[in-house]
Amino acid sequence: MKHISILGSTGSIGKQTLDVVREHPDLFRVVGLAASNNWEELLEQIREHKPLIVSVATKELADRIKLNCPSDVTVLYGQEGACEVAIHPECNFVLSAIVGSAGLFPTLQAIEAGKTIGLANKETLVTAGHIVMDKAKEHNVTIIPVDSEHSAIFQCLQGEDVTSVKRVILTASGGSFRDLSRDDLKQVTVEQALNHPNWKMGEKITIDSATMMNKGLEVIEAHWLFGLTFEQIDCALHRESIIHSLVEYHDSALIAQLGTPDMRVPIQYALTFPKRVTLQTPPLDFSKLLSLQFEPVDFERYPALKLAYECGRAGGTMPTVLNAANEIMVERFLNGEIPFLDIESRIEAVLAKHVKSAQPSLEEILTVDQWARNEASGV
């Protein structure tokens, strides 16, 4: 039985994790739920899943929850609250799905407490990959990818040796503006940007997908998860999001993982690994015409992806700055403060001001993250 804490339970991944839990009450039990502001959704989740411990953003929200939920539920708040949810002694699996680098601390705490991690929160690995992976090694903790591309690679690697891998190919949908030129991008709105062609996801990742920063973050995520060099990580535009990624081996054989775009598949795989159990999702229908298209990714069209490769290769604190500046710029775009194309150009401006530290400690990463956020708010 998996005794699960979900960090980010009110989000897109969090709610789909609870869908999976609902389908298999014999396999999964919810121990803890951590959210931020959506206390009403959390309250419904508490009523249905009866966790032992929950957390929200503030004391005020925690008090509101306490007034409305059974008295035996521990209700906490803030980063400390999320960490307590992550390390609860009755939990043995943490689904890390807070958005952004706010997920870093609770995920690190879960690793230190020896919990198996299902990792959706890619920003954690982008901002502090070496710290997270070293800690997982130190505590003998397994990190199972939830991000669809990384889950695909993880599935394609089963029974294989990572030293046999020539390269991996991450597939990219191209996002909501894939049919627009850079010139067209000057006019786009927030509403248009939030209309992803294939996936229904949270706002931040949907904007990241439109700039293709999402693929850039995923390149860095793949580097840490699978120990691959950046030369071994390629991307290909694949409009259908049916092939979730591919692994090419030294003999040039390619192994791919396919399926309809449904995040419950990689979420459930992370939860049941190495087993597979049933899931109510429409399978691919081969009785109909099915076309799978591939195009090379144009780095001039998607400069955020180029920037992410550069920061990944540079290492040290560069990915930390990239991630923090991106989080702020996406927020500013969503608030209507800056136009779409400024997301990339302003991130570049912040990166240009940064003097890299090569092997940063966690403290240094937190300092640099805050510096980049301040800079990004001002440029």
Ligand X SMILES: CC(=O)[C@@H](O)[C@H](O)COP(=O)(O)O
Ligand Y SMILES: NC(=O)C1=CN([C@@H]2O[C@H](COP(=O)(O)OP(=O)(O)OC[C@H]3O[C@@H](n4cnc5c(N)ncnc54)[C@H](OP(=O)(O)O)[C@@H]3O)[C@@H](O)[C@H]2O)C=CC1
The phi, psi pair for 3, rounded to 5°, reads -105, 105
Q: Is 147 in the site for ligand X (CB under 6 A)?
A: yes
The verdict on 212 binding ligand Y (CB under 6 A) reads: no
Task: Name the binder of 111 from Mn ion, ligand Y, ligand X, none, CB < 5-8 A by kind.
Answer: none
Distances from the Cα of 8 to the Cα of 49, 128, 129, 157, angstroms: 15, 19, 20, 28
How far apart, in whole angstroms, are the C-alpha atoms of residue 134 and residue 148?
Answer: 23
List interacting residues with Mn ion (CB under 5 A). 147-149
149 known member of a binding site: yes
Consult the annotation and say whether 195 binds a ligand: no
- The H or E element containing residue 64 is helix 59-68
Q: Does 297 bind ligand X (CB under 6 A)?
A: no
Q: Which does 175 bind (CB under 5 to 8 A by kind): Mn ion, ligand X, ligand Y, none?
A: ligand X
Q: How far is the CB of 199 from ligand X (least distance, A)?
A: 5
- Contact letters (x/-) for ligand Y, 83-122, by CB under 6 A? --------------xxx--x-----------------xxx
Choice between 78 and 197, CB closer to ligand X: 197
- Residue 314: which of 357, 346, 370, 376 has the closest Cα? 357
Is 270 one of the binding residues for ligand Y (CB under 6 A)? no
Among 148, 155, 268, 323, binds ligand X (CB under 6 A): 148
Tokens 């591919």 — which residue? 246
* 307: nearest Cα among 338, 337, 335, 346: 346
201 binds ligand Y (CB under 6 A): yes
Of 48-56, 169-177, 223-231, 278-286, the segment contacting ligand X by CB under 6 A is 169-177
Nearer to ligand Y, 116 or 151 (CB): 151
CB 33 within 8 A of CB 5: yes
Token couple for 187: 């006019």
**Exposure of 377 by Cβ count < 10 A (0-12 exposed, 13-18 middle, 19+ buried)?**
middle
11 neighbors 23 (Cβ within 8 angstroms)? no
Interacting span for ligand Y (CB under 6 A) from 30-38, 239-247, 267-275, 346-354: 30-38
Q: Give yes or no for residue 172 binding ligand X (CB under 6 A).
A: yes
The answer on whether 214 is annotated among ligand-binding residues is yes
Per DSSP (E only), the strands in 146-215 are: 165-172
Q: Which is nearer to Mn ion, 297 or 366 (CB)?
A: 297
Which x/- pattern over 37-76 shows residues binding ligand Y (rule: CB under 6 A)?
xx--------------------------------------
Tokens at 219, concatenated: 């390149």
d(CA 342, CA 348): 10
State the CB neighbour count (10 A cutoff) for residue 360: 20
Please report, in range form, the residues annotated as the binding site.
10-13, 38, 121-123, 147-149, 173, 196, 202, 209, 214-215, 218
Please report, in range form, the residues annotated as the binding site for NADPH.
10-13, 38, 121, 123, 202
